A and B are shown apart, each in its own frame.
Chain A
Amino acid sequence: MTKLLWFAICFAALALTLLFRVIKGPSVVDRAVAADSVDILTDMALIIYALYTGRSVYLDIALVTAILGFIGSVMVAKYLGGGMNE
């Protein structure tokens, strides 16, 4: 079942490619959205690696990372829209 690892490698390569948008992105919105997408792509790689090894620790890590990415992007949106003090 080593073919599963190739899909994980594909997702990791896509996440590394998307880091270009995090570094270069002209506005804050680009960086936040690209960081969220990098988070999702790494989660997919972690899920496939968990299926490959058969250990469920990586699934827990993926769940925690998903929750942290969601909270982070919502916090960036709150800060950017000026909704903290209103």
Chain B
Amino acid sequence: MIYVIYALMAFSVFFAFAGVVGMLRMPDAFCRMQSSTNIATFGVLGVIIGGILYSVFFLNNSGFAIKLAALGVFYIVTNPISGHAIARAGYHHGVETAKMVCDKYGEDME
């Protein structure tokens, strides 16, 4: 069972690493936002599920599991809200884009 937990956490570390590399290397602010979503979904889920399994099977502490489940639900619910708000505000603020091919939102606002 401990190796399942290690595998989940390694999965999560891999996705967080991919998100960080994307945030450092992407050419554009919106591309970087798209890559930061990688951290907040799969980078969180592996640690949360692995932590629930660890606290149930090794710590024998159900309070840990409940707190971790609440934390995971909070992350999954609030990340799209803040991402949507920041993307919309950045578009209205006029963030520079590298190569914008299609802009349906700007066409709809006119």
State whether B23 touches A37 (Cβ < 8 A): yes
State whether A18 touches B82 (Cβ < 8 A): no
SS class, residues of chain A in contact with chain B: helix
Which residues of A sit under 8 angstroms from B12, Cβ to Cβ? 7, 44
Q: Does B4 contact A (CB under 8 A)?
A: no
- Given A11-B13, A51-B59, A67-B74, is A73 in contact with B86 using a C-beta cutoff of 8 Å? yes
Of residues B40, B63, B87, which shows the largest number of chain A Cβ atoms within 10 Å of its Cβ?
B40
CB-contact partner of B61 in A4, A7, A44, A54, under 8 A? A54
CB-contact partner of B71 in A3, A32, A47, A82, under 8 A? A47
Query: How many B residues, CB 8 Å from partner?
Result: 49
State whether B47 touches A44 (Cβ < 8 A): yes
Alpha-carbon gap, A70 to B2, bound state (A): 32
What are 19 A-B interface contacts by the 8 Å CB criterion? A1-B2, A4-B9, A7-B13, A18-B23, A20-B24, A21-B24, A29-B93, A34-B23, A36-B82, A37-B39, A41-B20, A44-B16, A44-B43, A48-B51, A50-B64, A59-B68, A74-B82, A76-B86, A81-B93
- Given A77-B85, A78-B89, is A66 in contact with B71 using a C-beta cutoff of 8 Å? yes
State whether A78 touches B32 (Cβ < 8 A): no
The digit string for A41-84, where 1 denotes a CB below 8 A from any CB of B, is 10110011011001010011011001100100110111011110
- Given A7-B13, A36-B36, is A62 in contact with B71 using a C-beta cutoff of 8 Å? yes
Of residues A26, A27, A33, which shows the largest number of chain B Cβ atoms within 10 Å of its Cβ?
A33
CB-contact partner of B67 in A14, A59, A73, A77, under 8 A? A59
State whether B51 touches A80 (Cβ < 8 A): no
The digit string for B32-59, where 1 denotes a CB below 8 A from any CB of A, is 1100100110011001100100110011
Which residues of B sit under 8 angstroms from A47, Cβ to Cβ? 47-48, 51, 68, 71
